[in-house]
């Protein structure tokens, strides 16, 4: 059985829990206290030298890191990745957009506000990060103006990757009201059969 | 014929030029002056709403963005992506590592030093970025201590993605001398048949 090393409040970890739930696939779940440094100890660094969750242990013992690479591994051959080369590449495009242009500006402000003390110097990062976060949401809004989902007009892992932190963007200080097409898409994702919330312990 | 929108000094664009050269595949190359804002004008934003190069126009007219998604699209079915599911997922893992944990800390300092005036406030970002850059190089060094290439002991697009900015990390202020296995891997990549340098105009 696959083992997922994770932290409940992580949106990156939630992506994997959401896909497992949609696929109705059982797995072993190990929660690590990232705030107490549990991913930076030698035992975990031997699993993932980059010291981050989620990390998935495969059945042959291989450790696979990076949330969107894990999504791809688990979804390959299912309805959640298109079969045609262009559709597949566009799924990857949006997942790279998520990690480069979205996650540092939508997820990191949420982390700072939820998990760091109010006198942390990292609060000074918020204005620049939130500005970039609004730019990412604007790109999504433009794309979704004429589409129901990000790729191929159906629910794929690109939607899961982007949903994970977008639906809790308000917790970091990003209001979603100016992005009505994003808001409608969030509701479509949440209405999918088998959907589970971020806070649901597996 | 495929059209690549690019900027010569971009390592992200270079990844695609390198793969095209290795595949001996002709393409049309359009250089945009990113410093003059050529990727933020309506004409280009209609191609890529995120306003970034590289962007590849496919033969059916579709625009594909994100350097590592473009690498995947072009390399699928070639010797540069493994055939087995775990090998494929590990290639993606290292490409997501590159975009999330490496590019902002290895490429961005290089961009600041090469392209911004000396009185730019962005120079203040350098200490934190370079510290994270050294962390990324340390992860690579650990991995390469027992390996010739990043995945499956052969040259894949994961190596191309990581080579692009690592081999010019010194231009951003990151010395490579403390990372001898990284340095040896850079030499292996550069020795591959068909290799082209970053500065070579297609």
Q: Is the minimum CB–CB distance between A90 and chain B shorter than 8 Å?
A: yes
Q: Structural domain boundaries of chain A? A: 3-75, 85-190
Respond yes or no on whether the N-terminal peptide bond of residue B44 is cis (omega within 30° of 0). Answer: no
Q: Which CATH fold would you assign to the domain B3-75? A: Glutaredoxin (3.40.30)
Q: Is the minimum CB–CB distance between B66 and chain A shorter than 8 Å?
A: yes
Grouping H, G, I as helix, E, B as strand and the rest as coil, residue A31 is strand
Rounded-to-integer distance, Cα A60 and Cα A62, Å: 6
State yes or no: ipTM above 0.95. yes
Give the rounded percent of residues in chain A with a pLDDT score beyond 70. 100
The order of strands in the sheet holding A55-57 is A28-31, A3-6, A55-57, A63-65
B198 Cβ contact partners less than 8 Å away, ≥ 6 residues apart: B9, B11, B14, B164, B167, B168
Q: Is the minimum CB–CB distance between A127 and chain B shorter than 8 Å?
A: no
The CATH number of the structural domain formed by B85-190 is 1.20.1050.10
Smallest Cα distance from A192 to chain B, Å: 26
What are phi and psi for residue B175, nearest 5 degrees? Answer: -75, 140
What is the model's pLDDT at position A21? 98
- B-chain CB neighbours of A73 within 8 Å are 85-86, 88-89, 92
What kind and span of H or E run contains B160? helix B157-166
- Residue range A176-187: mean pLDDT, rounded: 98
Is residue A17 within 8 A of residue A196, CB to CB? The reply is: yes
B36 Cβ contact partners less than 8 Å away, ≥ 6 residues apart: none
- A-chain CB neighbours of B60 within 8 Å are 86
Instruction: Indicate the pLDDT class of residue A142, thresholds 50, 70 and 90.
Output: very high
Give the DSSP per-residue string, A101-146: IIHHHHHHHHHHHHHS-TT-GGGGGHHHHHHHHHHHHHHHHHHHTT
What is the model's pLDDT at position A36? 95
- A-chain CB neighbours of B86 within 8 Å are 58, 60, 62, 64, 73
- B-chain CB neighbours of A64 within 8 Å are 86, 89-90, 93
Do B89 and A68 count as a contact with CB atoms less than 8 A apart?
Answer: no
pLDDT digits (tens, 9 = 90+) for A67-104: 999 999 999 999 999 999 999 999 999 999 999 999 99
Give the rounded percent of residues in chain B with a pLDDT score beyond 70. 100
Low-confidence stretches of chain B (pLDDT < 70) are none
What is the pTM assigned to this prediction?
0.98
Q: What is the mean pLDDT of chain A?
A: 98
């Amino acid at each position: 059985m696959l083992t997922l090393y994770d932290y409940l409040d992580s949106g990156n970890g939630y992506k994997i829990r959401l896909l497992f739930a949609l696929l109705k696939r059982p797995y072993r779940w190990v929660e690590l206290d990232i705030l107490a440094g549990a991913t930076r100890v030698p035992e975990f660094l031997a699993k993932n030298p980059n010291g981050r969750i989620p990390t998935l242990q495969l059945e042959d013992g291989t450790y696979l890191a990076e949330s969107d690479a894990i999504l791809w591994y688990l979804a390959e051959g299912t309805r959640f990745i298109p079969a045609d080369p262009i559709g597949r590449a566009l799924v990857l495009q949006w997942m790279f957009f998520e990690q480069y242009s979205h996650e540092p500006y939508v997820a990191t402000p949420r982390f700072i506000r939820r998990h760091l003390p109010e006198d942390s110097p990292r609060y000074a990062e918020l204005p620049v990060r939130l500005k970039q976060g609004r730019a990412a949401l604007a790109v999504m809004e433009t794309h979704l103006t004429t589409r129901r989902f990000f790729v191929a007009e159906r629910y794929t892992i690109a939607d899961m990757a982007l949903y994970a932190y977008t639906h809790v963007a308000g917790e970091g200080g990003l209001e979603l009201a100016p992005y009505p097409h994003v808001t409608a898409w969030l509701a479509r994702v949440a209405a999918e059969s088998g959907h589970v919330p971020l806070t649901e312990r597996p």
